[in-house]
Amino acid sequence: MRRHWYLVMALAAISCGTTTTSTGSDTSTTTTTSTCTLTDNTTATSTVTSNCTLLTRDTSACQASRTSQGLSGYWLKFSCRVTLTTSTTSGATVVVATADGQPDYKSNYFATSHACYEAFTGNTQNPNLISAQSYAIQFPVSTTTTAQTMSGGVVGLALNGVPIFDNAAAPGDDIYEEATTFDKCQAHPTQNGLYHYHSEPYAITSNDAHFVGVMRDGYPVYGRKDADGSTPTLDVAGGHTGVTEDSPSTAVYHYHINEQTSTTTGTVGQTQQFITTGTYRGTPGSCTGC
């Protein structure tokens, strides 16, 4: 995102409920009540970081569909707002995730008329608004170790269907300065309404070992900590091989949220808990709508 953000105010669909109440006469009264349906199947925990509440998600409604396709482990933790299907592309098995990219919590980046709008004064709000997208990301099941640099845009998908971006802003901008525009749960929209994370998403993880999502190269990403509560030593891609809460017996390669420090004039010394280092460990799958 550029510092001079274009004023493109894309409005997301409003989620409302309408009830009709009989008055006992010839007439009835229709009352429209705004309900944020994006938060359905989420439960607040007692962990609150920077005003953002860590959530748990009930995925029971989509478990049968996923297990019948052979999916297991962290794939079963994706919100039911994310549709997961297995497919074959060029002879290789992939997991295809489709999502609209909207968060499952309220944000000041929804239009004020939106049922999921919530005022927040703890940031410098950019002029952009969240709008529903249409993503289809192919995650390779058989991962590679052909490292490559991320090229911006969507580099992964969080378990709630919100895209993950890398640790850089648009050319000419400073991501550490841009971080002041993140909402309470550490995300913001582009001028096209594409809501996304660069940093630790507090509604999913907060200085813990929780599963966060999957990068486009097929490797999962977890919170700052390892399953045993320790802080791991990571490679240049921001990952390592070890056990996780989803693979407690077999060591597997995975990424971690990790602290990085600005060396840019104006923000030098500032730190941020980024989801990526800007490097894929393997070859990323395709992404449409990205």
Grouping H, G, I as helix, E, B as strand and the rest as coil, residue 62 is helix
Half-sphere exposure of 122 (CA within 13 A, CB side): 13
pLDDT at 5 over 80: no
Q: Is the pLDDT confidence value at 284 over 80?
A: yes
Confidence category of residue 172, pLDDT binned at 50, 70, 90:
confident
Structure tokens at 189: 């929209």
Q: How far apart are CA 288 and CA 239, in angstroms?
A: 26
Q: Are 260 and 167 in contact (CB under 8 A)?
A: yes
CA atoms within 13 A on the CB side of 199: 24
The DSSP output letter for 117 is B
- Do residues 55 and 105 touch, judged by C-beta distance below 8 A? yes
Residues 281, 217 contacting (CB under 8 angstroms): yes
pLDDT average, residue stretch 175-194: 97
pLDDT of residue 11: 34
> Is pLDDT above 70 for 31?
no
Residue 191 contacts by C-beta under 8 Å, 6 or more apart in sequence?
A: 1, 5, 6, 7, 8, 128
Task: Give φ, ψ of 137 to 5 degrees.
Answer: -110, 130
Structure confidence at residue 158 (pLDDT): 98
pTM of the model: 0.88
Helix (H, G, I), strand (E, B) or coil at 180: helix
**Phi/psi at 61 (nearest 5 deg)?**
-65, -20
Quickly state the pLDDT bin for 181 (edges 50, 70, 90).
very high
Three-state SS for 264-284 is CCCCCCCEEEECCCCEECCCC
pLDDT at 188: 97
Do the beta carbons of residue 260 and residue 219 sit within 8 Å?
A: no
Q: Token pair for residue 12? A: 């997301």
Express each pLDDT in 54-99 by its tens digit.
999 999 999 999 999 999 999 999 999 999 999 998 899 999 999 9
The pLDDT of residue 8 is 34
Q: For residue 167, how many other CB atoms are within 10 A of its CB?
A: 20
Neighbour tally for 265: CB within 10 Å: 7
Mean pLDDT estimate for the chain? 90
Give the number of other CB atoms < 10 A from CB of residue 212: 27
- Give me the sheet containing 135-140, strands edge to edge: 83-89, 92-99, 135-140, 287-288
In sequence order, the 6+-apart residues with CB closer than 8 A to the CB of 89 are 138, 285, 286
User: What pLDDT is attached to residue 171?
Assistant: 84
How confident is residue 285, by pLDDT bands cut at 50, 70 and 90?
very high
- At residue 22, the pLDDT reads 35
- Residue 190 pLDDT > 50: yes
How far does Cα 108 stand from its chain's mean position? 16
**Residues 105/95, Cβ–Cβ less than 8 Å:** no
**In this predicted model, what pLDDT tens digit does every residue of 106-143 receive, in sequence order?**
999 999 999 999 999 999 999 999 999 999 999 999 99
Residue 10 predicted with pLDDT over 90 = no
- Which is nearest to 200 in space by CA: 137, 158, 253, 149? 158
Q: Which residue, among 211, 216, 218, 217, has the nearest Cα to 244 in the 3D structure?
A: 211
